[in-house]
Structure 1
């Protein structure tokens, strides 16, 4: 009954976005057969989109363009290729790729088999990727070629290369693996796919800075309720053209990949965000929706303003936009106003996380009225604000945000990773409050975490790594969250050894880069004779040298 209620509540917004569109009686039958066979998985979404809009462009990326029919057929062929390599329902398949067709093809292929995709961050070090694959028993790996050579010990893992623009220049230990388009083109089309595979969870590796990142387990939705939470506030429409700058290896990008397929939209995907390319794509493909993050939107609007000032003919070629939706870093009110001044009140906000799924969403009109809003609590979501004693606080009072919904994670993949909870709701780690109108406002982190380039960074983890290194006697790392970009300030005391005397800024950064994720490389390094500590042994930050931030 509850699932039926959730579906019924979602119908109006789904219909408005074209998600329930079908072509004739045959289209209804295909829709029913697909959802019966594959549930609300990526396989169902690909089948439904190919049935409704076979020739409509699905993806425009650095590899070219492909239609929805080509996407579906390619994913089927890749699934057969994985199956021929031993992948079965319940097996884990690593996916390590920047934004391109590679991730959608791999995720849809996994759904055809009932395999669990292990979505990994390309910024992870080779050691981290290797540890993930070993710890979680990865059967196969679909990875952009540039990352494969950095991963040690791939023995026993079936590797398929993703984006690979220069195959002739690959080292021998990488070139021996087949490319994704080669697998699609050469796999026997008569290999039968499982009829009704049990759908297993998607595992998104949450930002990790030391050791192995945490695997967040997300189940296959039983209803489209989560989409019904977004679509009333963010006006997706059937067959739109969407600039999807949000990283597909994050939950935010993963969610919008779902919505893009559901609405049969064209996704413009670029492996690396380039504001010049972003403006050019808006002109060439008549983009009418943008899914991004504040740091990208800031650079995009700056480039657009520069281009329009240089050539007035540019202005009428960019837009109109149905929506520009931001998530990840909180979008500064000044940026909301700048974007709205150019495109109208179309800037929306999504507040959620890999662990929680959606928490609050603000429409263009709501954000234009008050750019400080995170939004109203999404349909089917429970959210409360608690003080340090776990008492619920009244409107206007700041406390820690706790939340739960059907899309909250099932848990971390490793039992060693724990999460704080209260009456079934998970702690977000964010501070915030509800105003008298019921809008959620976010005020920062409850702990020392900062967000750097869209990635969660805990300064203490870099600190604990560096203090173990030869030549370092003491270290303190402080995260400074600026308007959009965070800095890591690293205060280092050398020991009186040859190793200590040989250390310099570059050496410390290289240590971090070789062993940790990119976002944990310090931005500023200050060499100190000693660290100011109080009687309890804690560093006194106010007594540290001041650093000019980025």
Structure 2
């Protein structure tokens, strides 16, 4: 299936390029990236055995790596290095250790970790013993964690030592630090000798949605049943086999986890840092000759704010791929001006995986675009009458691809669907070139004095003004008009911005009813680990 964009009154309008079946498309893409290439019979047997046992999961990716290039570095982190062969042997023992404690099918393992080798090892080991994995957000409170524990019925939680305090009583707790009783090292040491199942029950991956209040929902993420999802991403983002990959996006987030799966598939050395710091980020890119970076937009913003110039030395990554939150148009252009045309922007969500990908050329031609639907993806913009709308007209965004989630855990309602496609909850439009432009969340629209007003265009306008570092615009209650907009603005150091100046800009460029009633200047916008603004923590709402 070629990429599809349904954007007019007709039932469908598809691009002319069709690479045939998903399998053929995957083979072509993976041959181009160097994953598919000749190998000897012994290694070919090892690859086939890994895929037979574990499917197309992260577990399979690292097991394939142990068969194809056992002495290549699998992970580089703050604690040192580990090869594919060493990681394979450790995760065999860890899987046996987990199974001995009762973890396995029906007894999920939670992971509460920052970015280092331990969460990678636990994910791989869980796949080897058939345990479901629940990726826990490191920013959750104790009450939220208690709700997740009850909802997911966790058997074991593997956590970094400094995060143990937020865990409620109940599940078995394993610390990633130290080597004493109750540590991950002790569990590895206890896990052998023994025999793992030839084909364990396929473990599920549960990713928590980024709720900021209450208990986050658990979204069941399927492991790919084919290599078509990878082919979709590779149709726009040109990863290459063996290239070192730095994953700065949190591994507990869908984007960081996707980066891990793609890196394992490509036999890459995965570079991880527990904490993101702009200076150390630039240093490790240069020192480890990183070719691909997976990050979230706010990380790039911090790098540009706290450093001068571009990359540290002569080395230049080929790819910097971001997702997880909106990429402002000005940020995309400034980053490429300073760091080169290596920026890719993927728009998606925990529920739908990917929707569209913007290449550097797309971001140059239309800064702020969310890009185009890649191969194997159907993208539809629906109007109020549930019919596709023409290019340039806003509507609700719906998507279909090869890796959508299997529903929420518990009794939560699934997202809106239309003819087999899943709604993202966002509003946007397609331009004449088929590029997607997002206006904002569908539930963010307000009615002010009888006029429908969406914060998105106002936020984009203010964000592009001189002296504005970042901005968030949302609706607040208003006695006279029902609702009005409020703008929360973070100014650049030394910028001469005023409330009236912001209001005048909006009135001049948009409409009177879009002018914010409130303009509040802040030192920073509150954000979660993936860069999304925590709107409930903004002051003076309503």
Is 1:81 the equivalent of 2:97? yes
Match of 1:506 in 2: none
1:459 positional shift: 9.2
Match of 2:276 in 1: 273
Q: Which residue, out of 88, 101, 117, partners 2:133?
A: 117
* Runs of at least 5 residues in structure 1 that lack an aligned partner in the other structure: 168-174, 309-313, 452-456, 464-475, 486-511, 527-540, 545-550
Contact 1:352 1:360 in 2 (8 A): yes
SS at match of 1:412: coil
Contact 2:109 2:133 in 1 (8 A): yes
Contact 1:332 1:483 in 2 (8 A): no
Contact 1:10 1:228 in 2 (8 A): yes
Contact 1:81 1:187 in 2 (8 A): yes
Q: Distance in 2 between matches of 1:192 and 1:201?
A: 22
Distance 1:50 1:482, change over 3 A: farther
Contact 1:332 1:484 in 2 (8 A): no
Contact 2:111 2:157 in 1 (8 A): yes
1:176 positional shift: 7.8
Between stretches 476-485 and 56-65, larger displacement belongs to 476-485
1:98 positional shift: 1.1
Q: Which residue, out of 434, 438, 443, partners 2:439?
A: 443
RMSD: 3.3
Residues 432-478 of structure 1, C-alpha deviations (whole Å, 9 max, x = no match): 11112222222222123999xxxxx9999xx9xxxxxxxxxxxx999
Match of 1:178 in 2: 182
Distance 1:225 1:477, change over 3 A: farther
Match of 2:261 in 1: 258
1:135 positional shift: 2.2
Residues 501-540 of structure 1, C-alpha deviations (whole Å, 9 max, x = no match): xxxxxxxxxxx99xxxx975855534xxxxxxxxxxxxxx
Residues 457-500 of structure 1, C-alpha deviations (whole Å, 9 max, x = no match): 9999xx9xxxxxxxxxxxx9998577999xxxxxxxxxxxxxxx
Is 1:215 the equivalent of 2:207? no
Contact 1:323 1:364 in 2 (8 A): no
Contact 1:330 1:484 in 2 (8 A): no
SS at match of 1:216: strand
Residues 273-323 of structure 1, C-alpha deviations (whole Å, 9 max, x = no match): 1001111112221222211121101222344426x7xxxxx75x2532211
Distance 1:45 1:458, change over 3 A: farther
Is 1:190 the equivalent of 2:186? no
Match of 2:387 in 1: 391
Matches within 5 A, 1:362-511: 362-448=358-444
Q: Distance in 1 between matches of 2:374 and 2:186?
A: 43
1:330 positional shift: 2.1
Q: Distance in 2 between matches of 1:146 and 1:211?
A: 23
Contact 1:319 1:343 in 2 (8 A): no
Q: Which residue, out of 228, 238, 242, partners 1:225?
A: 228
SS at match of 2:370: coil
1:220 positional shift: 1.6
Contact 1:159 1:177 in 2 (8 A): no
Q: Distance in 2 between matches of 1:484 and 1:444?
A: 22
Is 1:328 the equivalent of 2:315? no
Is 1:236 the equivalent of 2:269? no
SS at match of 2:334: helix
Contact 1:448 1:479 in 2 (8 A): no
Q: Distance in 2 between matches of 1:397 and 1:484?
A: 32
Contact 1:55 1:69 in 2 (8 A): yes
Contact 1:214 1:417 in 2 (8 A): no
Match of 1:5 in 2: 21
Match of 1:17 in 2: 33
Aligned length: 460
SS at match of 1:415: coil
